[in-house]
Amino acid sequence: MVGRWLDPACGDGAFLLEFVRRLADAVPAAELPRTVEERVFGFDLDITAVDAARVAVREEVERRCGALSSAFLAGNIRVADFLELDPEPDYDVIAGNPPYVSATQLTAAEKERFLERFATAWGRLDLYTLFIEHGLRFLRAGGRLAYITPDKWLGAASNRRLRTHLARNYVPRTIDRFERHDLFPGVATVPCVTMIERPRSPVPTPASPMVRWWSVDPGGGPQPVSDAREVSIRSDGTPWLVARPVPPVEADHAPLGDLVERISVGVATGLNSCFVLDAEGVRSIEPELLRPVARGRDIAVGQIRDAKRWMLVPYCFSDDGTAAELIDLDEFPGAAAHLARHQEALKRRHCVRVWGKAWYDLHDPITFDLARRTKVLLPDLAQHPRFAVDNGRALPLHSAYYVLPRPGGPLDAGALADALNDPVVAEELRTRAPTAKSGYRRFRAQILRDILVPLASRSDRDAA
Ligand SMILES: C[S@@+](CC[C@H](N)C(=O)[O-])C[C@H]1O[C@@H](n2cnc3c(N)ncnc32)[C@H](O)[C@@H]1O
Protein backbone atom coordinates (compact mmCIF):
# COMPACT_ATOMS: atom_id res chain seq x y z
CA MET A 1 0.00 0.00 0.00
CA VAL A 2 2.13 2.81 -1.23
CA GLY A 3 1.93 6.18 -2.83
CA ARG A 4 -0.60 8.84 -3.58
CA TRP A 5 -4.20 8.00 -4.40
CA LEU A 6 -6.65 10.09 -6.40
CA ASP A 7 -10.36 9.96 -7.21
CA PRO A 8 -10.73 12.54 -10.01
CA ALA A 9 -14.55 12.77 -9.67
CA CYS A 10 -14.93 11.98 -6.00
CA GLY A 11 -18.58 12.96 -5.43
CA ASP A 12 -19.30 12.72 -1.72
CA GLY A 13 -16.26 10.56 -1.19
CA ALA A 14 -17.27 6.88 -1.45
CA PHE A 15 -13.88 5.88 -2.89
CA LEU A 16 -11.87 8.28 -0.69
CA LEU A 17 -13.42 6.67 2.39
CA GLU A 18 -12.32 3.28 1.16
CA PHE A 19 -8.75 4.60 0.63
CA VAL A 20 -8.78 5.90 4.21
CA ARG A 21 -10.10 2.62 5.65
CA ARG A 22 -7.31 0.74 3.93
CA LEU A 23 -4.70 3.18 5.20
CA ALA A 24 -6.17 2.89 8.70
CA ASP A 25 -5.58 -0.86 8.56
CA ALA A 26 -1.97 -0.32 7.55
CA VAL A 27 -0.64 2.49 9.79
CA PRO A 28 -0.83 3.27 13.55
CA ALA A 29 -3.76 5.57 14.50
CA ALA A 30 -1.43 8.42 15.49
CA GLU A 31 0.08 8.40 11.99
CA LEU A 32 -3.24 8.32 10.20
CA PRO A 33 -4.00 12.08 9.76
CA ARG A 34 -0.54 12.80 8.35
CA THR A 35 -0.63 9.71 6.11
CA VAL A 36 -4.07 10.61 4.78
CA GLU A 37 -2.92 14.16 4.01
CA GLU A 38 0.12 12.81 2.18
CA ARG A 39 -1.74 10.26 0.17
CA VAL A 40 -5.46 10.84 -0.35
CA PHE A 41 -6.66 13.29 -3.03
CA GLY A 42 -9.97 14.02 -4.68
CA PHE A 43 -11.48 16.46 -7.19
CA ASP A 44 -15.05 17.23 -8.10
CA LEU A 45 -16.83 19.95 -10.03
CA ASP A 46 -19.51 20.20 -7.43
CA ILE A 47 -18.70 22.23 -4.32
CA THR A 48 -21.43 20.53 -2.26
CA ALA A 49 -19.96 17.15 -3.08
CA VAL A 50 -16.46 18.34 -2.21
CA ASP A 51 -17.64 19.67 1.18
CA ALA A 52 -19.46 16.41 1.89
CA ALA A 53 -16.40 14.36 0.91
CA ARG A 54 -14.08 16.39 3.16
CA VAL A 55 -16.44 16.04 6.11
CA ALA A 56 -16.92 12.32 5.54
CA VAL A 57 -13.19 11.66 5.30
CA ARG A 58 -12.39 13.86 8.31
CA GLU A 59 -15.00 12.09 10.41
CA GLU A 60 -13.65 8.69 9.34
CA VAL A 61 -10.15 9.71 10.49
CA GLU A 62 -11.45 11.41 13.68
CA ARG A 63 -13.30 8.24 14.66
CA ARG A 64 -9.93 6.55 14.92
CA CYS A 65 -7.66 9.26 16.29
CA GLY A 66 -9.63 12.21 17.71
CA ALA A 67 -10.61 15.73 16.63
CA LEU A 68 -8.95 17.45 13.66
CA SER A 69 -9.01 21.01 12.38
CA SER A 70 -11.67 21.89 9.81
CA ALA A 71 -8.82 22.76 7.42
CA PHE A 72 -7.87 19.06 7.36
CA LEU A 73 -7.67 17.94 3.70
CA ALA A 74 -8.71 21.37 2.38
CA GLY A 75 -5.82 21.22 -0.12
CA ASN A 76 -6.37 17.56 -0.97
CA ILE A 77 -10.07 17.39 -1.76
CA ARG A 78 -10.97 20.34 -3.90
CA VAL A 79 -13.26 21.78 -6.51
CA ALA A 80 -11.81 21.29 -9.97
CA ASP A 81 -12.84 20.38 -13.49
CA PHE A 82 -10.59 17.37 -13.85
CA LEU A 83 -10.71 17.42 -17.63
CA GLU A 84 -9.28 20.96 -17.58
CA LEU A 85 -6.37 20.18 -15.24
CA ASP A 86 -2.87 19.93 -16.63
CA PRO A 87 -1.53 16.46 -15.98
CA GLU A 88 1.04 15.99 -13.23
CA PRO A 89 2.13 12.36 -13.12
CA ASP A 90 1.93 12.33 -9.35
CA TYR A 91 -0.33 9.45 -8.46
CA ASP A 92 0.21 5.74 -7.90
CA VAL A 93 -3.45 4.80 -7.75
CA ILE A 94 -6.37 6.50 -9.49
CA ALA A 95 -9.75 4.98 -8.77
CA GLY A 96 -13.32 6.11 -9.06
CA ASN A 97 -16.64 6.20 -10.77
CA PRO A 98 -16.27 8.98 -13.37
CA PRO A 99 -19.34 10.81 -14.71
CA TYR A 100 -21.33 9.05 -17.44
CA VAL A 101 -22.41 11.91 -19.69
CA SER A 102 -22.98 11.04 -23.31
CA ALA A 103 -22.50 13.35 -26.28
CA THR A 104 -26.24 13.92 -26.48
CA GLN A 105 -26.11 15.73 -23.11
CA LEU A 106 -23.18 17.96 -24.11
CA THR A 107 -23.43 21.31 -25.82
CA ALA A 108 -21.91 21.63 -29.30
CA ALA A 109 -19.19 23.89 -27.84
CA GLU A 110 -18.27 21.37 -25.14
CA LYS A 111 -18.13 18.58 -27.65
CA GLU A 112 -15.89 20.59 -29.94
CA ARG A 113 -13.53 21.40 -27.07
CA PHE A 114 -13.28 17.72 -26.10
CA LEU A 115 -12.69 16.65 -29.69
CA GLU A 116 -9.78 19.10 -29.83
CA ARG A 117 -8.23 18.24 -26.48
CA PHE A 118 -8.50 14.46 -26.34
CA ALA A 119 -6.83 12.10 -28.74
CA THR A 120 -9.41 9.38 -28.18
CA ALA A 121 -12.55 11.56 -28.40
CA TRP A 122 -14.51 10.62 -31.48
CA GLY A 123 -18.11 10.15 -32.59
CA ARG A 124 -20.48 9.46 -29.73
CA LEU A 125 -18.02 10.34 -26.99
CA ASP A 126 -18.90 10.04 -23.32
CA LEU A 127 -17.17 11.86 -20.46
CA TYR A 128 -16.12 8.65 -18.75
CA THR A 129 -13.93 7.72 -21.73
CA LEU A 130 -12.21 11.12 -21.50
CA PHE A 131 -11.67 10.47 -17.79
CA ILE A 132 -9.87 7.26 -18.78
CA GLU A 133 -7.55 9.01 -21.25
CA HIS A 134 -6.89 11.99 -18.98
CA GLY A 135 -6.62 9.96 -15.74
CA LEU A 136 -3.85 7.80 -17.17
CA ARG A 137 -1.76 10.94 -17.75
CA PHE A 138 -1.75 11.58 -13.99
CA LEU A 139 -0.19 8.21 -13.14
CA ARG A 140 3.42 7.69 -12.26
CA ALA A 141 5.17 4.93 -14.22
CA GLY A 142 4.01 1.64 -12.71
CA GLY A 143 0.86 3.27 -11.27
CA ARG A 144 -2.62 1.89 -11.87
CA LEU A 145 -6.00 3.33 -12.73
CA ALA A 146 -9.26 1.50 -11.93
CA TYR A 147 -12.67 2.84 -12.86
CA ILE A 148 -16.18 1.55 -12.82
CA THR A 149 -17.78 2.62 -16.10
CA PRO A 150 -20.41 1.42 -18.58
CA ASP A 151 -19.09 -1.59 -20.54
CA LYS A 152 -20.06 -0.08 -23.91
CA TRP A 153 -16.58 1.20 -24.67
CA LEU A 154 -15.20 -2.35 -24.76
CA GLY A 155 -17.06 -2.97 -28.01
CA ALA A 156 -18.52 0.24 -29.45
CA ALA A 157 -17.24 1.42 -32.83
CA SER A 158 -16.96 5.00 -31.56
CA ASN A 159 -14.44 3.88 -28.89
CA ARG A 160 -12.04 2.31 -31.35
CA ARG A 161 -9.54 5.13 -30.81
CA LEU A 162 -9.64 4.67 -27.05
CA ARG A 163 -8.98 0.93 -27.35
CA THR A 164 -6.15 1.59 -29.79
CA HIS A 165 -4.62 4.22 -27.51
CA LEU A 166 -4.79 1.94 -24.46
CA ALA A 167 -3.44 -1.11 -26.29
CA ARG A 168 -0.47 0.82 -27.69
CA ASN A 169 0.53 2.88 -24.68
CA TYR A 170 -0.71 1.18 -21.53
CA VAL A 171 -1.14 -2.24 -19.97
CA PRO A 172 -4.79 -3.16 -19.37
CA ARG A 173 -4.61 -5.66 -16.50
CA THR A 174 -8.14 -6.73 -15.61
CA ILE A 175 -11.72 -6.22 -16.74
CA ASP A 176 -14.52 -7.26 -14.39
CA ARG A 177 -17.88 -7.59 -16.07
CA PHE A 178 -21.32 -7.72 -14.51
CA GLU A 179 -24.54 -9.23 -15.69
CA ARG A 180 -26.92 -6.57 -14.44
CA HIS A 181 -27.62 -3.09 -15.63
CA ASP A 182 -29.31 -1.84 -12.45
CA LEU A 183 -26.38 -1.54 -10.05
CA PHE A 184 -26.89 2.22 -9.89
CA PRO A 185 -30.43 3.51 -9.39
CA GLY A 186 -31.70 5.30 -12.47
CA VAL A 187 -28.63 4.49 -14.58
CA ALA A 188 -29.51 1.97 -17.28
CA THR A 189 -26.06 0.71 -18.03
CA VAL A 190 -24.15 -2.52 -17.66
CA PRO A 191 -21.03 -1.66 -15.71
CA CYS A 192 -17.51 -3.01 -15.86
CA VAL A 193 -14.44 -2.33 -13.76
CA THR A 194 -11.23 -1.89 -15.71
CA MET A 195 -7.74 -1.68 -14.25
CA ILE A 196 -5.01 -0.23 -16.46
CA GLU A 197 -1.33 0.27 -15.67
CA ARG A 198 0.99 2.96 -16.91
CA PRO A 199 4.05 0.94 -17.93
CA ARG A 200 7.61 1.77 -16.89
CA SER A 201 8.86 1.24 -20.44
CA PRO A 202 7.19 1.35 -23.87
CA VAL A 203 4.72 -1.44 -24.60
CA PRO A 204 6.16 -3.61 -27.42
CA THR A 205 2.96 -5.59 -28.07
CA PRO A 206 -0.50 -5.10 -26.57
CA ALA A 207 -0.88 -6.81 -23.20
CA SER A 208 -3.80 -9.17 -22.62
CA PRO A 209 -6.10 -8.30 -19.73
CA MET A 210 -7.85 -10.97 -17.70
CA VAL A 211 -11.64 -10.86 -17.82
CA ARG A 212 -13.89 -12.10 -15.03
CA TRP A 213 -17.68 -12.25 -15.03
CA TRP A 214 -19.74 -11.55 -11.91
CA SER A 215 -23.39 -11.93 -11.05
CA VAL A 216 -24.88 -9.48 -8.57
CA ASP A 217 -27.89 -10.30 -6.44
CA PRO A 218 -29.82 -7.36 -5.04
CA GLY A 219 -29.23 -8.44 -1.42
CA GLY A 220 -25.68 -9.77 -1.74
CA GLY A 221 -22.30 -8.85 -3.13
CA PRO A 222 -20.89 -9.91 -6.48
CA GLN A 223 -20.40 -13.64 -7.09
CA PRO A 224 -17.92 -14.86 -9.69
CA VAL A 225 -19.62 -16.79 -12.47
CA SER A 226 -16.45 -17.74 -14.29
CA ASP A 227 -12.73 -18.18 -13.94
CA ALA A 228 -10.65 -15.33 -15.25
CA ARG A 229 -10.02 -15.61 -18.99
CA GLU A 230 -7.48 -13.78 -21.04
CA VAL A 231 -8.79 -11.55 -23.82
CA SER A 232 -6.19 -10.94 -26.46
CA ILE A 233 -6.34 -7.37 -27.65
CA ARG A 234 -4.98 -5.82 -30.80
CA SER A 235 -3.58 -2.40 -31.41
CA ASP A 236 -6.09 -1.66 -34.20
CA GLY A 237 -8.97 -1.00 -31.82
CA THR A 238 -10.86 -4.28 -32.41
CA PRO A 239 -13.47 -4.80 -29.65
CA TRP A 240 -12.21 -6.24 -26.36
CA LEU A 241 -15.05 -8.66 -25.89
CA VAL A 242 -14.98 -12.20 -24.66
CA ALA A 243 -18.09 -14.26 -24.35
CA ARG A 244 -19.05 -15.44 -20.91
CA PRO A 245 -17.67 -18.96 -20.64
CA VAL A 246 -20.30 -21.53 -21.48
CA PRO A 247 -20.56 -25.12 -20.35
CA PRO A 248 -18.82 -27.64 -22.62
CA VAL A 249 -20.80 -28.15 -25.78
CA GLU A 250 -21.38 -30.83 -28.27
CA ALA A 251 -19.55 -30.39 -31.55
CA ASP A 252 -22.84 -30.00 -33.41
CA HIS A 253 -23.38 -26.51 -31.94
CA ALA A 254 -22.00 -23.20 -33.14
CA PRO A 255 -22.25 -19.59 -31.96
CA LEU A 256 -25.13 -17.84 -33.73
CA GLY A 257 -22.77 -15.05 -34.82
CA ASP A 258 -20.76 -17.55 -36.89
CA LEU A 259 -23.83 -18.86 -38.72
CA VAL A 260 -25.50 -15.70 -39.93
CA GLU A 261 -24.82 -12.58 -41.96
CA ARG A 262 -25.86 -10.06 -39.37
CA ILE A 263 -27.45 -9.60 -35.95
CA SER A 264 -28.62 -6.11 -35.20
CA VAL A 265 -31.23 -3.98 -33.51
CA GLY A 266 -34.11 -2.65 -35.64
CA VAL A 267 -34.26 0.82 -37.13
CA ALA A 268 -34.39 3.96 -34.97
CA THR A 269 -36.04 6.93 -36.64
CA GLY A 270 -35.37 9.56 -33.98
CA LEU A 271 -39.04 10.64 -34.26
CA ASN A 272 -41.51 7.75 -34.49
CA SER A 273 -44.46 10.13 -34.30
CA CYS A 274 -43.46 11.37 -37.76
CA PHE A 275 -42.13 8.22 -39.41
CA VAL A 276 -44.37 5.47 -38.02
CA LEU A 277 -47.94 5.84 -39.23
CA ASP A 278 -51.27 4.08 -38.99
CA ALA A 279 -53.62 3.34 -41.90
CA GLU A 280 -55.04 6.85 -41.80
CA GLY A 281 -51.60 8.49 -41.67
CA VAL A 282 -50.20 6.69 -44.72
CA ARG A 283 -52.98 7.71 -47.10
CA SER A 284 -51.24 10.65 -48.70
CA ILE A 285 -47.81 9.01 -48.87
CA GLU A 286 -46.33 7.33 -51.92
CA PRO A 287 -46.68 3.55 -51.35
CA GLU A 288 -43.14 2.74 -52.51
CA LEU A 289 -41.81 4.60 -49.47
CA LEU A 290 -43.86 2.58 -46.97
CA ARG A 291 -42.87 -0.61 -45.17
CA PRO A 292 -45.00 -2.47 -42.59
CA VAL A 293 -43.27 -2.39 -39.20
CA ALA A 294 -42.76 -5.03 -36.54
CA ARG A 295 -42.30 -3.92 -32.94
CA GLY A 296 -40.97 -6.10 -30.14
CA ARG A 297 -44.48 -6.61 -28.79
CA ASP A 298 -45.73 -7.89 -32.18
CA ILE A 299 -43.37 -10.85 -32.15
CA ALA A 300 -44.63 -14.13 -30.69
CA VAL A 301 -42.97 -17.56 -30.86
CA GLY A 302 -43.14 -18.50 -34.54
CA GLN A 303 -45.52 -15.68 -35.44
CA ILE A 304 -45.53 -11.94 -36.13
CA ARG A 305 -48.75 -10.03 -35.53
CA ASP A 306 -49.68 -7.35 -38.01
CA ALA A 307 -48.92 -4.05 -36.25
CA LYS A 308 -51.15 -2.21 -38.76
CA ARG A 309 -48.50 0.45 -38.85
CA TRP A 310 -46.02 1.47 -41.55
CA MET A 311 -42.74 3.28 -41.61
CA LEU A 312 -42.15 6.08 -44.05
CA VAL A 313 -38.67 5.13 -45.30
CA PRO A 314 -37.37 8.13 -47.26
CA TYR A 315 -35.12 6.00 -49.45
CA CYS A 316 -35.03 4.57 -52.93
CA PHE A 317 -33.52 1.13 -53.25
CA SER A 318 -31.92 -0.63 -56.18
CA ASP A 319 -34.00 -3.45 -57.67
CA ASP A 320 -32.13 -6.09 -55.70
CA GLY A 321 -32.48 -3.99 -52.53
CA THR A 322 -28.75 -3.83 -51.87
CA ALA A 323 -28.18 -0.13 -52.56
CA ALA A 324 -30.02 2.74 -50.90
CA GLU A 325 -30.26 6.44 -51.62
CA LEU A 326 -32.06 9.18 -49.71
CA ILE A 327 -35.01 10.44 -51.76
CA ASP A 328 -35.25 13.78 -53.46
CA LEU A 329 -38.30 15.39 -51.82
CA ASP A 330 -39.37 17.03 -55.09
CA GLU A 331 -40.08 13.57 -56.51
CA PHE A 332 -42.38 12.54 -53.64
CA PRO A 333 -44.81 15.39 -52.93
CA GLY A 334 -46.98 13.31 -50.57
CA ALA A 335 -44.08 12.36 -48.34
CA ALA A 336 -42.59 15.84 -48.65
CA ALA A 337 -45.80 17.49 -47.39
CA HIS A 338 -46.01 15.07 -44.46
CA LEU A 339 -42.35 15.55 -43.49
CA ALA A 340 -42.65 19.32 -43.80
CA ARG A 341 -45.36 19.29 -41.12
CA HIS A 342 -42.81 17.78 -38.70
CA GLN A 343 -39.86 19.78 -39.90
CA GLU A 344 -39.09 21.63 -36.65
CA ALA A 345 -39.08 18.48 -34.52
CA LEU A 346 -37.11 16.58 -37.17
CA LYS A 347 -34.42 19.25 -37.16
CA ARG A 348 -34.04 19.03 -33.39
CA ARG A 349 -32.96 15.40 -33.60
CA HIS A 350 -29.41 14.53 -32.58
CA CYS A 351 -28.63 13.01 -35.98
CA VAL A 352 -29.41 16.33 -37.69
CA ARG A 353 -27.98 18.76 -35.12
CA VAL A 354 -24.80 16.88 -34.30
CA TRP A 355 -24.11 14.50 -37.15
CA GLY A 356 -25.36 16.86 -39.84
CA LYS A 357 -27.78 14.42 -41.52
CA ALA A 358 -30.48 15.72 -43.86
CA TRP A 359 -33.45 16.93 -41.79
CA TYR A 360 -35.82 14.26 -43.16
CA ASP A 361 -33.37 11.33 -42.94
CA LEU A 362 -33.81 8.49 -40.43
CA HIS A 363 -31.63 8.43 -37.32
CA ASP A 364 -30.01 5.10 -38.25
CA PRO A 365 -28.06 4.51 -41.46
CA ILE A 366 -30.10 2.74 -44.15
CA THR A 367 -27.91 0.81 -46.54
CA PHE A 368 -30.25 -1.88 -47.88
CA ASP A 369 -33.94 -2.73 -48.04
CA LEU A 370 -34.13 -4.59 -44.73
CA ALA A 371 -37.90 -5.07 -44.85
CA ARG A 372 -37.63 -7.10 -48.06
CA ARG A 373 -35.08 -9.57 -46.67
CA THR A 374 -36.16 -12.85 -45.07
CA LYS A 375 -35.05 -12.73 -41.46
CA VAL A 376 -35.69 -13.87 -37.92
CA LEU A 377 -37.08 -11.28 -35.51
CA LEU A 378 -37.15 -11.14 -31.72
CA PRO A 379 -38.16 -8.51 -29.15
CA ASP A 380 -35.26 -6.64 -27.52
CA LEU A 381 -36.93 -6.85 -24.11
CA ALA A 382 -39.01 -9.79 -22.89
CA GLN A 383 -39.37 -12.25 -20.04
CA HIS A 384 -38.54 -15.11 -22.41
CA PRO A 385 -36.96 -14.85 -25.84
CA ARG A 386 -39.37 -15.28 -28.79
CA PHE A 387 -38.24 -15.80 -32.37
CA ALA A 388 -40.30 -15.66 -35.55
CA VAL A 389 -39.53 -15.63 -39.27
CA ASP A 390 -40.47 -12.61 -41.34
CA ASN A 391 -40.63 -13.51 -45.03
CA GLY A 392 -39.46 -10.21 -46.44
CA ARG A 393 -42.40 -8.10 -45.32
CA ALA A 394 -41.75 -6.10 -42.16
CA LEU A 395 -39.20 -3.58 -41.03
CA PRO A 396 -38.21 -4.16 -37.39
CA LEU A 397 -38.37 -1.04 -35.22
CA HIS A 398 -35.86 -0.30 -32.49
CA SER A 399 -37.73 -2.49 -29.99
CA ALA A 400 -36.89 -5.61 -32.03
CA TYR A 401 -33.70 -7.33 -33.14
CA TYR A 402 -33.20 -9.06 -36.45
CA VAL A 403 -31.02 -11.96 -37.48
CA LEU A 404 -30.21 -12.14 -41.21
CA PRO A 405 -29.44 -15.68 -42.35
CA ARG A 406 -26.32 -16.02 -44.45
CA PRO A 407 -27.31 -16.83 -48.05
CA GLY A 408 -26.19 -20.43 -48.56
CA GLY A 409 -25.38 -20.70 -44.84
CA PRO A 410 -25.97 -23.84 -42.78
CA LEU A 411 -29.38 -22.72 -41.42
CA ASP A 412 -32.10 -20.87 -43.29
CA ALA A 413 -34.47 -18.49 -41.47
CA GLY A 414 -36.95 -21.24 -40.57
CA ALA A 415 -34.25 -23.54 -39.19
CA LEU A 416 -32.70 -20.64 -37.27
CA ALA A 417 -36.01 -19.69 -35.66
CA ASP A 418 -36.65 -23.33 -34.72
CA ALA A 419 -33.17 -23.69 -33.26
CA LEU A 420 -33.48 -20.47 -31.26
CA ASN A 421 -36.98 -21.29 -29.98
CA ASP A 422 -35.66 -24.66 -28.74
CA PRO A 423 -36.38 -24.58 -24.97
CA VAL A 424 -32.77 -25.38 -24.02
CA VAL A 425 -31.33 -22.65 -26.22
CA ALA A 426 -34.02 -20.13 -25.20
CA GLU A 427 -33.36 -20.80 -21.51
CA GLU A 428 -29.61 -20.40 -21.95
CA LEU A 429 -30.23 -17.12 -23.74
CA ARG A 430 -32.63 -15.93 -21.04
CA THR A 431 -30.15 -16.57 -18.23
CA ARG A 432 -27.31 -14.84 -20.08
CA ALA A 433 -29.26 -11.72 -20.99
CA PRO A 434 -28.95 -8.92 -18.42
CA THR A 435 -32.04 -8.24 -16.35
CA ALA A 436 -33.84 -5.02 -17.14
CA LYS A 437 -37.02 -3.73 -15.50
CA SER A 438 -39.15 -6.09 -13.42
CA GLY A 439 -37.63 -9.37 -14.49
CA TYR A 440 -37.53 -8.56 -18.20
CA ARG A 441 -34.36 -9.55 -20.05
CA ARG A 442 -32.53 -7.47 -22.59
CA PHE A 443 -31.31 -9.52 -25.57
CA ARG A 444 -28.34 -7.51 -26.72
CA ALA A 445 -26.58 -8.26 -30.00
CA GLN A 446 -23.41 -9.52 -28.32
CA ILE A 447 -25.36 -12.04 -26.26
CA LEU A 448 -27.19 -13.24 -29.35
CA ARG A 449 -23.90 -13.60 -31.24
CA ASP A 450 -22.41 -15.80 -28.54
CA ILE A 451 -25.36 -18.12 -27.99
CA LEU A 452 -24.66 -21.67 -29.15
CA VAL A 453 -27.30 -23.09 -31.44
CA PRO A 454 -27.73 -26.71 -32.51
CA LEU A 455 -26.91 -27.27 -36.15
CA ALA A 456 -29.56 -30.01 -36.45
CA SER A 457 -33.13 -29.49 -35.32
CA ARG A 458 -34.48 -31.29 -32.26
CA SER A 459 -36.62 -33.62 -34.36
CA ASP A 460 -33.61 -34.49 -36.57
CA ARG A 461 -31.59 -35.26 -33.45
CA ASP A 462 -34.37 -37.32 -31.92
CA ALA A 463 -34.75 -39.24 -35.17
CA ALA A 464 -30.99 -39.86 -35.40
C1 LIG B 1 -20.91 9.15 -11.01
S2 LIG B 1 -20.48 10.40 -9.83
C3 LIG B 1 -19.37 9.50 -8.85
C4 LIG B 1 -19.16 10.00 -7.49
C5 LIG B 1 -18.34 9.08 -6.56
N6 LIG B 1 -17.06 8.69 -7.14
C7 LIG B 1 -19.13 7.85 -6.16
O8 LIG B 1 -18.88 6.77 -6.67
O9 LIG B 1 -20.03 8.00 -5.35
C10 LIG B 1 -19.56 11.45 -10.79
C11 LIG B 1 -19.09 12.74 -10.14
O12 LIG B 1 -18.32 13.41 -11.13
C13 LIG B 1 -18.43 14.79 -10.93
N14 LIG B 1 -17.96 15.45 -12.16
C15 LIG B 1 -18.62 15.60 -13.33
N16 LIG B 1 -17.83 16.20 -14.24
C17 LIG B 1 -16.63 16.44 -13.62
C18 LIG B 1 -15.42 17.03 -14.03
N19 LIG B 1 -15.26 17.49 -15.26
N20 LIG B 1 -14.41 17.10 -13.13
C21 LIG B 1 -14.56 16.63 -11.88
N22 LIG B 1 -15.70 16.05 -11.44
C23 LIG B 1 -16.72 15.97 -12.29
C24 LIG B 1 -19.87 14.98 -10.57
O25 LIG B 1 -20.07 16.19 -9.85
C26 LIG B 1 -20.15 13.72 -9.71
O27 LIG B 1 -19.98 14.00 -8.35
- Residue pLDDT, tens place only, 331-342: 999 999 999 999
Indicate which atom in ligand 1 lies nearest the CA of residue 8. 21
Residue nearest to atom 18 of ligand 1 (CA): 81
In a domain, 24, yes or no: yes
Ligand 1 center to 348 CA (angstroms): 28
Of 230, 246, 267, the domain-final residue: 230
How far away, in angstroms, is 9 Cα from ligand 1 center? 4
Give the pLDDT mean for 93-108.
90
- Average pLDDT over every residue of 284-312: 96
104 within some domain? yes
Q: How far is the CA of 208 from the centre of ligand 1 (A)?
A: 29
**Residue at 383 is within a domain:** yes
Average pLDDT over residues 112-122: 92
Residue to mutate, 10, 41, 126, 184, ligand 1, most ligand atoms under 8 Å from C-beta: 10
Ligand 1 nearest atom to the CA of residue 15, by list position: 6
**Do residue 291 and residue 226 come from a single domain?**
no
Looking at the structure, do residues 40 and 119 belong to the same domain, yes or no? Answer: yes
Task: Check pLDDT > 90 for residue 379.
Answer: yes
Rounded distance from Cα 87 to ligand 1 centre (Å): 18
Which of 184, 211, 230 is the C-terminal boundary of a domain?
Answer: 230
Residue 370 and residue 166: Cα distance in Å, rounded? 36
In ligand 1, the atom with minimum distance to the C-alpha of 49 is 27
Nearest protein Cα to ligand 1, atom 15? 99
φ, ψ of residue 26 to 5 degrees: the values are -100, -20
Q: How far, in Å, is the centroid of ligand 1 from the Cα of 10?
A: 6
CA separation, residue 231 to residues 83, 164, 189, 191 (Å) = 30, 15, 22, 18
Residue span of the structural domain in which 157 resides: 5-230
Same-domain status, 192 and 272: no
Which residue has a Cα nearest atom 26 of ligand 1? 11
Q: What pLDDT digit, counting tens, does each position of 430-459 carry?
A: 888 888 766 788 888 888 988 888 886 544
31 and 74 share a domain? yes
Average pLDDT, the chain: 89
Question: Which residue type occupies 130?
Answer: L
- Residue 347 in any domain: the answer is no
Query: Which protein residues touch ligand 1 with a CB less than 6 Å away?
Result: 7, 9-11, 14-15, 43-46, 49, 81-83, 96-97, 99
Do 26 and 75 lie in a common domain? Answer: yes
413 and 286 within one domain: yes
122 is a domain residue: yes
Domain total in the chain: 2
Let me know whether 199 and 294 are in one domain: no
Max mean pLDDT range (101-105, 156-160, 213-217, 263-267): 263-267
What pLDDT was estimated at residue 247?
Answer: 47
What CATH number did the domain enclosing 77 receive? 3.40.50.150
The answer, yes or no, to whether residue 248 has pLDDT greater than 70, is: no
Q: 103 and 154: one domain?
A: yes
Predicted TM-score (pTM) of this structure: 0.61
Structure-model confidence comparison of residues 58 and 191, the more confident one: 58
pLDDT in tens, 42-70: 999 999 999 999 999 999 999 999 999 98
Quote the ligand 1 centre to 98 CA distance (angstroms): 5
Whether residues 264 and 215 share a domain: the answer is no
Q: Which of 345, 211, 192 is nearest to 273 (CA)?
A: 345
SS3 content of the chain, % helix, strand, coil (to 5): 35, 25, 40
User: In a 3-state reduction of DSSP, which class is residue 46?
Assistant: coil
pLDDT in tens, 388-411: 999 999 999 999 999 999 888 888
How much distance in Å is there from the Cα of 409 to the middle of ligand 1? 49
Question: What's the pLDDT at 318?
Answer: 87
Distance (angstroms) between ligand 1 centre and the Cα of 398 equals: 31
Q: Please report, for the domain that includes residue 405, its CATH number.
A: 3.90.220
Q: Please report, as a single letter, which amino acid is at residue 58.
A: R
